[in-house]
Chains A and B, each alone.
Chain A
Amino acid sequence: MTDSPPHDDALLAQRIRSGDRSALGELYDRYASLALATALRVVADRQLAEDLVHDAFVATWQKIDRFDPARGNMRAWLLTIVRNRALDQVRGGRASIEVGAADEQALLRTSANPTWEAAIARRSTAELRSALDELPTEQREAIELAYFGGRTYREIAVLTGVPLGTANGRLRLALAKLRDALRMTDAAPSGAGERLGADEAGQ
């Protein structure tokens, strides 16, 4: 994922903030296909997904003053906006063009740790996909239900027919294994997975 250098994103954000429309065009060229993939994965409707991407870029332009490069990069911000609006759609809510509190809370949650961004930047998309593909099916399914389906671990437990602790454990194991696969040993103390019992992990 070496095509999304955060420092370039910061410069793009600066240019957008100064009113440079061509910078928004560059942001679009850089991330529109990824934004559309995210929206399409959530709503499974091409036209609706394009509408959501359109709204997300307009929101990015209008609310660029709320983007803080210290809290994350433009890609994370944009994809967070796309995902939130797409999930609003599938939940039957009305997607808004505004950048709301939900986006800002999501940003606090998604981008406060630069080690994942560094891992993403160091590896190719194929390597990142491989790390995901190597997860046990039930763990990958759990994190995909969470991210693309907008499901809580409680809902995942019901959907997959497992106890709450198992659903939560699958999320924890999945992220621990991803972290290990991406060699993010500097990101956290080891043992996140080991502390889970076999029953909790559901394997």
Chain B
Amino acid sequence: MTDELRAMDHAAVDELGAAYALDALEPDEARAVRDHLATCTQPHAELRALIGADQVLAVTLEPVEPSPALRERVMASIERAAQEQAPVAQRPGAAEPRQRGGWLDWLSPRVARPLAVAAVVALVAVGAWGVTLQSQLAERDRALRAVADAIAEGETAFRVEGTAGRGYVVDTPGSGAALVVADLAALPADRIYELWLLDAAGTPVAVGTFTPADGEVAVVELERDLAGYTTFAVTVEASRVDAPTGDIVMAAPLAPS
């Protein structure tokens, strides 16, 4: 910023009022006006009266009807964004105490998206399977470090959601995939979760089962990699079956984000 601008006096600021209101100042001039107004004891009523005038230009344009597809596109993007990032008022921890302590909750979806199989492998390696992380902070920290390392690898993950809970399917093409979930709904003693991969025709293939324990992070390696499949799903079954009999309680589309 030049000395002239730094020393901008009341008259000079008023002189540029219309240009300021119309966003027609050079950046350093605009900054000088803004700084002056922020600290000046004079009312600068004339300048302030012009602020907002540019909205007249905006609203006098002849409206242009968007293509019908644009609305669908916007709403689809909003849907995806809503899944990835709830608005502030709904975000856990923003306005209310966190009630769950699973480490997945500590990661924003945007950050957690690149979760990788490397993280899962690391978790298994350090014995995180079945570990109650809330009570074992060292394990939690180690898990988070593993996740951070995985993020650096830039691998992909697919968010899994449903009535049973939420988690991620993490994938390293050629090296396998795994489901990582926390705080899943408890099951009756005679029920298990069964994992499925579905192809584009909707044909399911069983890829594992598990039974979560309350308050634990579960890491379940899938028996197949994701190549050739379009959907991941979880059902509740009495025992391992070859075709699902229960309702889908969690699912994820396996499309690149």
Contact = CB atoms under 8 A, between A and B. Distances in A.
Interface of A: 1, 4, 16-19, 21, 24-25, 28-29, 32-34, 36-38, 40-41, 49-50, 53-54, 57-58, 61-62, 64-65, 72, 75-76, 79, 83, 105-106, 108-117, 119-120, 125, 128-129, 131-132, 143-144, 146-148, 150-154, 156, 168, 171-172, 174-176, 178-179, 182, 184, 187-189, 191-192
B60 A132 contact: yes
A171 to B, nearest CB: 4
Contact of A146 (B24, B60, B70): B24
B39 interface: no
Nearest to A21: B78
A83 B58 contact: yes
A105 B87 CA distance: 23
A111 B57 contact: no
A101 to B, nearest CB: 11
B4 to A, nearest CB: 14
7 contacts: A28-B75, A41-B61, A64-B87, A110-B52, A112-B48, A113-B49, A175-B21
A58 B75 CA distance: 9
B78 A57 contact: yes
Interface of B: 15-26, 30, 34, 45-46, 48-67, 70-71, 73-75, 77-79, 81-82, 85-90
A110 B66 contact: no
A201 to B, nearest CB: 12
Contacts of B55: 75-76, 79, 110-111, 116-117, 120
A32 B26 contact: no
Contacts of B74: 24, 28, 32, 53-54, 57-58
